[in-house]
Amino acid sequence: MSSPKPSTLRVGRRYRANRLDGPYDAIVIGSGIGGLTTAACLSKLGKKVVVFEQHYTAGGFTHSYDRNGYEWDVGVHYIGDMGSDRTLGRRLLDHITDGQLKWAPLNDHYDRIFLGDRHVDLVAGPEAFKAELARAFPGEERAIDTYLDYLRQVAKAMPGLVLGKVLPDLVAGPLRKRVNRRAPAFLNKPTREVLESLTGHQELIAVLTGQWGDNGLPPAESSFIIHALIARHYLYGGYYPIGGASEIAKTIIPVIQRGGGEVFTYADVAEILIERGKAVGVRMADGTEVRAPRVISNAGVFNTFDTLLPASAPHRDDYRQKLRTVERSMASNCLYIGLQDTAENLGLPKTNYWIYPGPDYERHLRDFMAAPEQTDLPLVYISFPSAKDPSFTARYPGRATIEIVAPGPYAWYADWADKPWGKRGEDYEAKKEEYAQRLLAKLYEKFPQLKGKVDYYELSTPLSTDYFCRYRKGEIYGLDHTPERFEQDWLKPKTRIPGLYLTGQDVMTCGVVGAMIGGLLTTLAVSGLRGLPLAKRMFVG
């Protein structure tokens, strides 16, 4: 395949130094959903905020791109909790978009989990969810009921964990101790350990954890916290933004602009400015210095403390030591497919397909990593955005799109990391093509009618993630969601450097809503007492 041309689907205003309109109350580095959430919330509190995005389009993993007459999202494959305005995620999105973002539901059978030749569906609604699992696994009703109760217990424990992120250390410390005393014993145990205490049925455990790709760790390694948050998030079904994923940034940016701020693209931040031990602004790649009393990094903790902070910054060495207590999350390949027919004609579902060789996720992953070319793919996720978005056919008549995600470690592509994007050579393209064919074969296994229908496809690798999103090892979920990660009390909005804050998925959890909640917590940390009405509105309703 030839090197693809850059997309024309862009959101945000192109950066030029003479377009800056300071002074600003806050600078946000990175326009991922956490950064945009913080910027919009602060704007609604009367602050003038500027967001700097080094990519050509705003939105981070919520952006879309178009190529060769097709459009794909890069990370918003589906979102839960959007069917009711009583959920925190929906309330927060409505707040930062002024209610302009609209949602379409997926099928009630929103996720289909394949274990070899067998499949079991996850169905929207607790009762339907339970009934489908009971039908598939007779005799396991008690384990399923207990599992759903465990999800509720985790949800009840979360407010205490969230509050500990924004309260002063003198208050947060005792609060954490009280939360830990009251929290269920299983809260931060490995997911597989928790589920194996409920049932010995490995296929049931595999179905319950069949969404593990949504956080990037197989169940033996992930914290039950992240498993429960994701499972409960989708318990009432999945939803997709009408108009595509780019509508998220498109509907948030006007809120920031109405507050006098702006979201700039092609705006590369080279360094955080530190004076007298405080963060006072940023230096852009073109040398321009932009100053504000608050600098908020949505660039992730590795980029923030390893790259953007100058060597003279206070506590920098301490934070770099803390980076050793966390790990970068999984990297992946994604195959973007275009077809010259409609989703309806092609029989594409509004259901996500999770395809596994069998229920032993850890063994399949281990075997694959040891011999990737001789071993079946341990996880293949297939999404059908053109089927999910009711506006797609009107925007792209006679066309359909599919996305396939599968593991793709950075080490596979490290030899080409120093080559420029789009010009990494024939060997790199050949390696990509080989993997693309494996993913297409998985697609044809489930949808044989698509053979001969594919008009265009291209594969992204961890190098693409690094180039466009500045995640150096291609990590798509920030930090691994291990039990150890949830014990790190430094992963919170307010840093030890006055004026410097963190936001996004590293503050709370991965996922659109997880990163948004991180953005909300950062707003509250920045705003102090002025943020109390916002906190009450979001958390109490």
Residues in the chain: 541
Looking at residue 180, what is its pLDDT?
Answer: 65
Q: Which residues contact 183 (CB under 8 A, 6 or more apart)?
A: 157, 160
Looking at residue 256, what is its pLDDT?
Answer: 98
| Domain architecture of the chain: domains with CATH | 13-67+87-102+243-327+480-539 (3.50.50.60)
Task: Quote the mean pLDDT of the chain.
Answer: 94
Q: Is the pLDDT of residue 235 over 60?
A: yes
Q: What are phi and psi of 307, to 5 degrees?
A: -115, -45
What's the rounded mean pLDDT across residues 18-39? 98
CB 438 within 8 A of CB 376: no
Whole-model pTM: value is 0.95
Looking at residue 468, what is its pLDDT?
Answer: 85
- Give tens-digit pLDDT for 422-471: 889 999 999 999 999 999 999 999 999 999 999 999 999 999 999 888 89
Looking at residue 21, what is its pLDDT?
Answer: 97
* Number of C-beta neighbours around residue 293 at 10 A: 16
Of 6-15, 85-94, 251-260, 380-389, where does mean pLDDT reach its minimum? 6-15
Number of alpha carbons in the 13 Å side-chain half-sphere of residue 426 = 0
Looking at residue 159, what is its pLDDT?
Answer: 86
Q: Is the pLDDT of residue 238 over 70?
A: yes
- Interior/surface letters 339-377, b for 16+ CB within 10 angstroms, e for the rest: beebbeebebbbbbbbbbbbbbbeebbebbeeebeeeeb
d(CA 37, CA 42) in angstroms, rounded, equals 8
The sheet with strand 500-502 has its strands ordered as 13-14, 262-265, 49-52, 26-29, 295-297, 500-502
Q: Is the pLDDT of residue 7 over 60?
A: no
Q: Is the pLDDT of residue 356 over 90?
A: yes
In the numeric block, which tokens belong to residue 360? 């032993």
Looking at residue 361, what is its pLDDT?
Answer: 98
Looking at residue 170, what is its pLDDT?
Answer: 53
Q: Is the pLDDT of residue 2 over 50?
A: no
Looking at residue 162, what is its pLDDT?
Answer: 86
Which has the higher per-residue pLDDT, 170 or 142? 142
Strands (DSSP E) found in 276-420: 278-284, 289-291, 295-297, 332-339, 352-356, 380-383, 400-407
What's the rounded mean pLDDT across residues 47-69? 95
Please report, rounded to a whole number, the percentage of residues in the chain having pLDDT higher than 90: 90
Looking at residue 177, what is its pLDDT?
Answer: 67
Confidence of residue 167 (pLDDT cuts 50, 70, 90): confident
d(CA 399, CA 386) in angstroms, rounded, equals 8
